[in-house]
């Protein structure tokens, strides 16, 4: 489009110097004004793009006039976006109990992501997220994954159909995980250990907005409770996390349903919850392995102040059968938790909202408290590991020179009931485009 604008402007410039010479020639001056008017109209059309098209007035292919506009509009467009995050982690040399921690500091290109989307027409859209983690797949350190790849059939605002590899619509960070959207160098522990973010599954469902309420309801492949075909199965320290098959040759013997409701009573406030229920045995063990997980969340912003809170709780049925299949023993305290829970509350304030003539910078100190336990309950014959009952405090700051770039720093006090937690401080650099 830009060469066309340049060509129009050169024509405009070419006419302009002639104006004084034509001053005494009224008809020619009128013609010059008319041409300038035509040029400005063309210029406006180029600036506004598709919106400058005349409104739909007659039907095409039997659709109502508005519906048939899709056949005239130039809506075939590829969209490319992305985000990335680099982090530095510096662990304390001592554990809570003062014994040597044995950790090493790390610097990691944690994620580099490309979004590629294609808008087939006004109501059918493809979107995908291609993820590179940890810089390289060499030495077994990193991985390449499709985090999501789905097609939306947006029938109307109130209802659409979505199918493909979908992000499970739970919590505040699983669907919205771009690093510029949350405080802290890393995602919250609760939304990694209780809600296993980034959690995606193959499936289909419906979504939509009805006034201040938005909803999503999907049928997806179930989790996998025990080791098979490259999936580790549930574990004691990370709950459901290693039971994700991430859309890769997922066993589809069992399905799950997940539904979410969000309500926005006033702009800047979002309150909602979600519920997941499904089986996870995938016909790999004799007994079923029912999983339920629910969560409630709140996000509120007022001027520079931000508040986030979330609580999640899950149950894993027949955990003793899973333990036997996985050779988890009471002596090793490695039992899968039959109950997991976690929650956090976080507050932040953008100090630069108080500054005059601020050109979009933000500087937000924040504080977060997290409490979670991936073995809140275990089957009666299996002992718990107190290291899985954890409390974390995070203090940090997020600086954004522009909304798409964030520089982060934080300190985390990571405590557990076995007194083996290791504190750390982190630095992060994040971008989104």
Partner 1 sequence: MGPRTRLHILIAALVAGAAFFVAAPARARVLMAKKDALALAFPAAEPERKTAFLTDAQAKAVEDAARSKLESKIWTYYVAGSTFAYFESHLVRTMNETVMVVIGSDGMVRFVEILSFAEPDDYLASPRWLAQFKGKPLSEDLAVRRGLRNIAGASLTSEAVARAVRRALAIHKILNTGPLE
Among 250, 362, 398, 424, binds partner 1 (CB under 8 A): 362
Residue 424 is a binding residue for partner 1 (CB under 8 A): no
Instruction: Catalogue the E-assigned strands of 211-268.
Output: 213-221, 255-263
For tokens 């506009």, what's the residue? 69
Number of residues that bind partner 1 (CB under 8 A): 80
Among 15, 88, 255, 393, binds partner 1 (CB under 8 A): 255
Segment contacting partner 1 by CB under 8 A, of 45-53, 91-99, 370-378, 406-414: 45-53
d(CA 325, CA 377): 19
Residue 229 is a binding residue for partner 1 (CB under 8 A): no
Among 28, 119, 371, 411, binds partner 1 (CB under 8 A): 119
d(CA 243, CA 258): 16
Segment contacting partner 1 by CB under 8 A, of 46-54, 104-112, 134-142, 223-231: 46-54
Helix (H) or strand (E) holding 374: strand 362-377
d(CA 121, CA 71): 8
Closest Cα partner for 192 from 253, 136, 235?
235
Identify whether the C-beta of residue 417 lies closer than 8 Å to the C-beta of residue 393.
no
Question: Contacts with partner 1 in 83-112 (CB under 8 A)?
Answer: none
Among 133, 201, 350, 392, binds partner 1 (CB under 8 A): 350
Question: Contacts with partner 1 in 287-316 (CB under 8 A)?
Answer: 299, 301-304
Closest Cα partner for 234 from 164, 324, 143, 331?
324
Segment contacting partner 1 by CB under 8 A, of 148-156, 231-239, 243-251, 391-399: 148-156
Identify whether the C-beta of residue 169 lies closer than 8 Å to the C-beta of residue 392.
no
Phi/psi of residue 388, each to 5°?
-85, -5
Segment contacting partner 1 by CB under 8 A, of 188-196, 200-208, 335-343, 389-397: 200-208
Segment contacting partner 1 by CB under 8 A, of 23-31, 55-63, 138-146, 309-317: 55-63
Rounded least distance, CB 383 to partner 1, Å: 33
Among 92, 103, 128, 217, binds partner 1 (CB under 8 A): 217
Identify whether the C-beta of residue 285 lies closer than 8 Å to the C-beta of residue 321.
yes
């Amino acid at each position: 489009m830009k060469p066309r604008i340049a060509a129009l402007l050169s024509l405009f410039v070419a006419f302009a110097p002639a104006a004084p010479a034509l001053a005494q020639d009224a008809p020619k001056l009128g013609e010059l004004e008319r041409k300038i008017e035509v040029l400005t109209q063309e210029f406006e059309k180029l600036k506004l793009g598709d919106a400058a098209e005349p409104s739909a007035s007659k039907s095409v292919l039997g659709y109502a006039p508005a519906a048939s506009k899709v056949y005239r509009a130039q809506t075939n467009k590829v969209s490319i976006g992305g985000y990335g995050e680099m982090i530095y982690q510096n662990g304390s040399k001592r554990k809570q109990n003062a014994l040597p921690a044995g950790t090493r500091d790390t610097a990691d290109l944690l994620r580099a992501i490309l979004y590629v989307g294609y808008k087939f027409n006004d109501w059918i859209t493809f979107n995908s997220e291609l993820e590179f983690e940890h810089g390289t797949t060499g030495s077994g350190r990193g991985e390449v994954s499709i985090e999501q790849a789905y097609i939306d059939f947006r029938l109307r605002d109130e209802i659409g159909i979505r199918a493909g590899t979908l992000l499970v619509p739970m919590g505040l960070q699983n669907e919205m995980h771009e690093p510029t959207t949350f405080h802290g160098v890393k995602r919250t522990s609760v939304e990694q250990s209780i809600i296993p973010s980034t959690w995606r599954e193959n499936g289909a469902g419906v979504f939509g907005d009805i006034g201040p309420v938005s909803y999503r309801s999907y049928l997806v492949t179930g989790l996998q409770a025990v080791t098979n075909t490259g999936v580790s199965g549930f574990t004691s320290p990370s709950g459901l996390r290693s039971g994700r098959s991430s859309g890769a040759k997922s066993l589809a013997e069992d399905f799950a349903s997940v539904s979410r409701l969000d309500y926005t009573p006033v702009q800047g406030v979002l309150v909602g919850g979600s519920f997941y229920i499904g089986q996870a045995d995938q016909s790999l063990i004799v007994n079923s392995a029912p999983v339920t997980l629910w969560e409630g969340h709140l996000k509120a912003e007022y001027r520079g102040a931000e508040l986030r809170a979330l609580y999640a709780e899950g149950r894993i049925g027949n955990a003793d059968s899973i333990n036997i299949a996985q050779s988890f023993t009471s002596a090793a305290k490695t039992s899968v938790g039959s109950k997991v829970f976690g929650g956090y509350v976080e507050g932040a304030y953008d100090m630069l909202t108080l500054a005059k003539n601020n050109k979009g910078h933000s500087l937000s100190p924040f504080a977060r408290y997290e409490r979670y336990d991936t073995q809140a309950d275990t089957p009666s014959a299996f002992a718990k590991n107190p290291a899985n009952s954890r409390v974390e405090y995070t203090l940090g700051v997020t600086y954004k020179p522009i909304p798409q770039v964030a520089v982060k720093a934080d300190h985390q006090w990571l405590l557990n009931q076995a007194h083996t937690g290791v504190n750390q401080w982190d630095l992060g650099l994040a971008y989104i485009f």
